[in-house]
Each structure stands twice: as structure tokens, then as C-alpha cells.
Chains A and B, each alone.
Chain A
Amino acid sequence: MTPGPVARPEGATHRSGATLARSNRRWFWLFVTPFLAGLLVFVYAPLLWSLCLSFFDARNTVTPNRFVGLGNYTYLLADRLFVDSMVTFIAFAVFIVPLTFACSLGLALLLQRITVLRAFFRSAFFLPTAVSYVIAAMVWRMTFFNGARFGLANTLLTSLGLEPINWLGGENSWYWLALVSLRLWLQVGFYMILFIAGLNQIDPQLYEAASLDGAGAWRRFWSITFPLLRPTSVAVSMLLLFNAFQAFDEFYNMLNTVGGYPPYARPPLVYLYLISFGGGLQDLGIGSAGTMILTLVILVFSFLQNRLLSIGADR
């Protein structure tokens, strides 16, 4: 791979560590303390509490007294439903992360080619971010992918002479189409904005120079855009990965019915939510153990993804 045309100004960071003065330390703590204090009280303290619960039989209580050691963990690892759900959503992450990444970057690049009405198109792609998952899922399940005859998708199918489909019913796998399209609609706009910000930081002169050298659009993208976009790409793919494993809202709002959540397309978090919160069930021990396992899986896959992304990258 050709070395990047501009080196990142690394000098600043080396300097700051060495010459950090006493007054700077004071400033550091002044700036960071409000956030740190909040993080400790409202994230880490509850997290420790949850961790403790995961070693107890904690049904309908947050102050349990029956210690079960790793019992909750072994229960879940032997639970076919939990393991199936983990496996399904590892596959889901492998699929949805590159897809969302490509769609968001694609939209950002598309907008770069557009001069007239650019603000309109940008708004159109970004606007869905403002809609709540509850409302968006309502539109999808009741209007677009309604299995009844008055659903939009089924109206289109029958007008083409095809049989209507029971989209979310679970006898087929069409529910993935509904779930993925909903997820993309809600999420790509935000990542697109992050990419636009990243793209705007690339010096336009670089493209002009490359054009003069006769580089086509494809080469310009791989030799200039993609390498220079790397900080944004890394941040986006990391957030996407965390997001994929923590999938919850679009699934829950789309598939939960009066009869409960069906056994298919059940993300680990939905399964654990039902255990620790669901209709009448409140098993905080197993619920906490499950979220700890999930966190561990996310950690492992972050390492793997990090490995994958650093192959061939300039270090």
C-alpha cells in the first residue's frame, strides 16, 4: 500500500505527555471530574451491583442472600435458547456491520457528487434518525410489512399477481427483511453525518493533484479517500459493532405481541430482558449473568475487528 500523502501531526501528542505541568494536571481534573463522577456513580456502581447479582439467586430481589457461585453462568451456557440466540446474533453482527458501514459511507459519497439540492437530500437521509424506534416499528409492522391484506408490501405483491406473505409470522424468514430495512432506515443517517464530517476534512487539493496524474474515481477513492477516512471509519465500525450486539429496540417493538416475544429472531438482550423483566418473570441473577457474558463477547469481537482493520494499515 502506498504511504498516506499527509502524515498525521503526531508530534503534538508526544510533547504533551512529557511536559505536562502541575497546572495542566489541575485543568485536566477540572475538565474531566464531572463526567468521571457521573460515570462512576451511574454506570460503574450499578455495574458492580449487577456483577454481584450474577453470582446470586436473585429472583424478585436486588438484595439476595443465596450465593450460587457460577451457577447462573453455567445455567445460561447450557441453555439452548440463549446459546442459539448468541450464535444467531454473532452472524447478524458479521452481516449488519459491513452493510450499515457501506450504506452510510455510500450515502456520504453520493452527497459529495451532488451540488444542487444537497441540503435537501442530506436532510432526507438524516431525518429518520429523529424518529423513535417505537413509532418506526409501528409504521413497519402495521403498514409496510403487515401480513394482512391491507399491508403495503402485500398490496404490491398481489398487484403483481403474487401471493401475499405473512412477513413477521415466523413460518418463513422474511422477517429479516423487515427488521434490517427498519434498522438501516433508522441508523444510516447518523453514521452518514459522521462520514460527511470526515470527508470534509480531506484536503480537496489532493483530489485535484490525483486527477492531474490521471487517477480515475475508483483509484482516487482507494488511494486518498479510504486511507484518510480511517479515523472516522475505525470509530464508526466500532460503534456499529457494539450496536449490533446490543440490538434490542427494533426487534422488541417489531415482533413482541400480546402473546409475548416469539422464539425466532430473538437477540440475546431481548432474551435476557424477558428473563429479568418479562411478564411476571424477574430473575435478576440470570439476567445479570447473561449481560456479563454478552459484554465479554462484545469485548472479544472488538479485538477481532480491531485485528482485521489493522491488517495492511499504516501503523
Chain B
Amino acid sequence: MRRSKPGTTLAYVVASVLAVFFLLPFYVIFRNAFSTQRHLVSPQWNWLPDAVGGSTFTDVLTNPGFGILPALGTSAVVAVTQTVLTVVISLMAGYALSRWRTPASKVILGMTVFTLMVPAMVTFVPTFVMVSTLGWISTYRGLIIPVIFSAFATFLFRQQFLEFPRELEESAALDGASVWATFWRIVVPNALGTVAAVGTITFIGAWNAFLWPLLIAQDPSMRTVQVVLSQFMTSQGIRYPEMFTGALIATVPALVVFLFLQRWLVQGVERSGLK
């Protein structure tokens, strides 16, 4: 598509200014993590950090008293498992809800959308009591299973499949493929954009989850990284550098996963857009 030149220039200017604003908080986390307390609370604002070679980062990361390294492992297991299970369960449900229109599917779709309207707080205490009664406190089951049934993910997949070209499925059926085989070989590969989007969001949600793991992980060895880092973020005894170092350590893995998935996501989006 041809665009007018001044319009395009303007678009770049606007995008660049916005990008600076969107990226500034990341820089600030970095600046705060690599500064001294005195530098941060001095009367003048300082753009540059003053302790880039400082030891706060390695201290926080490797102090066995804090236990960040094992917590990163726990978080990784929880986030990856939760993401895979959520995507598979919701992918199947979302496909079924768009592919087969029966009274049952309408009811289930209604239940799904209604779930989106209900604040998660409603179910929080009863779910916690249930999980505790099941003996799932301080287990991976307790951390993962109650949170993998995502109405949000199912709803997004269902929306995606509404747009799915039926001809592809039909030609596969003519070739004698079963519904199961068609789903995995034809439908899913064509929905990778949404898979990546939902996967990204789920992973980030799982990685950043705080209140649920805090309640479930009563045994210190089951604590996730957000729970461990909360000790730097409590209001008593605030030390800015430690706090933002913790924030940096908690954020970087999510960003890496995110940038990795994004390439896939964009390809998927472009592909599903081709028709």
C-alpha cells in the first residue's frame, strides 16, 4: 500500500516518542538496581546508575538465605507446566465450542463468559480450603491444577476458531483423517498465532502470580520467585537497590520468554491472517 510521505514520517516520530515512554520503566528498574541507596534518594534526580560494578546483584542472587536460585527453578516448572496444560485444555475446548453448535455448547460457552465476569476473589477462599482439604498444600499439584482451567484462554481460542476456514478441515476429512488427527495436523498449526498469544499471557500470568503461591507454598522449598522476592518489597526495611535488583531478576526471565515467543507469535499472526 502506498502512503503519503509526510504521514509516514509522522508515524515514525510518534512511534519513536511512544517507544521511549514504553521502555523508560525498564531502564529505571535497571538504574535503580545498579545504584546505591544514597544515590537514589539524593535531592537531584540522576539518570545514570552509580554502582554498575557493584555486588548487590550477585549478593541477592547467590545468598542461600534468600533462596532465589531454587525459587527460579520452581517458578519455571510451575509456569511451563501451567502454560502447556492451559493451552492444550483451552485449545480443545475453544475448538469444540466453535465447531459444534449444540445446546450443550451454548450453555458451556455461557458459563465460560460468565466466569470472565466473576471476580476471581469470589472463588479464592473456598478454592484454597478445597485444595488444603485435598492435601495439596506445598505441592506442585496445588500450585498448578486449580489455575489451569482458563475461561479467558478458552474464550480467545473460540473467537479465533470462528474465523477458521472450514474448507481446510473438509478436505482433510475427505482424505480420511479423523477429527482428532485433523485437529492436531490442520487446525492447530493454523492457529499458532493465538496459541502463542495465549501461551505468552498464561506464562506471564503464572510467572508473576503472587497470592496463590504465597498461600500454597507453606514449605520454603516450594516457594516461587515472586514469593521469595516479596521479602525485598515489604514496606519495613526498604532498601531500593535490593528491591529493584529483585525486580530485575524476576522480570528478565519473563522478558526473555516473551521475546522468544513473540517471533513465533508474529509469524503465527501473519500466517493466520493470510487465509
Contacts and interface: CB of A to CB of B under 8 A. Distances in A.
* A interacts with B: yes
A142 B240 contact: yes
Interface of A: 9, 12-13, 16-17, 20, 24-25, 27-28, 31-32, 34-36, 38-39, 42-47, 49-50, 53, 62, 107, 110-111, 113-114, 119-136, 138-140, 142-144, 148-152, 155, 185, 190, 193-194, 196-197, 199-201, 203-204, 207-208, 211, 217, 231, 235, 238-239, 242, 246, 248, 257-258, 269, 272-273, 276, 284, 287-288, 291-292, 294-295, 298-299, 302
B189 to A, nearest CB: 16
B32 A124 contact: no
A31 B166 contact: no
B151 A276 contact: no
Contacts of A43: 115, 118, 123, 149, 151
Q: Top 7 closest A-B pairs, CB basis?
A: A200-B273, A38-B149, A35-B93, A132-B208, A31-B96, A46-B126, A46-B123
A107 B14 CA distance: 10
Indicate the size class of the contact surface on chain B. 35 or more
A150 B204 contact: no
Tell me whether chain A's interface is mostly helix, strand or loop, or mixed. helix
A128 to B, nearest CB: 6
Contact of A28 (B104, B127, B258): B104
A248 B121 CA distance: 10
A127 B23 contact: yes
Nearest to A38: B149
A42 B146 contact: yes
B127 A46 contact: yes
A138 B255 CA distance: 18
Contact of A46 (B116, B130, B259): B130
B226 to A, nearest CB: 7
Contacts of B96: 27-28, 31-32
B97 A125 contact: no
Nearest to B23: A124
Given A46-B126, A50-B122, A239 B240 contact: no
A114 B12 contact: yes
Interface string B117-155: 111111111110110000000000000011111011011
Contacts of B233: 134, 138
A292 B154 CA distance: 23
B48 interface: no
A62 B133 CA distance: 13
Q: Which of B1, B145, B147, B194 has the most CB of A within 10 A?
A: B1
Contact of A39 (B7, B102, B149): B149
Given A235-B159, A258-B235, A38 B121 contact: no
B247 to A, nearest CB: 4
B41 interface: yes
B226 A134 contact: yes
Contact of A47 (B2, B122, B166, B255): B122
Contacts of A34: 89, 92-93
Contact of B93 (A24, A36, A143): A36
Given A197-B269, A201-B275, A242-B116, A44 B45 contact: no
Contacts of B15: 110-111, 114, 121
Contacts of B255: 127, 130
A298 to B, nearest CB: 5
18 contacts: A28-B96, A28-B102, A31-B96, A38-B148, A38-B149, A42-B147, A121-B15, A126-B258, A130-B254, A134-B230, A135-B251, A138-B233, A139-B247, A150-B42, A155-B45, A197-B269, A201-B272, A211-B1
B251 A131 contact: yes
Q: Which of B43, B122, B247, B269 has the most CB of A within 10 A?
A: B122
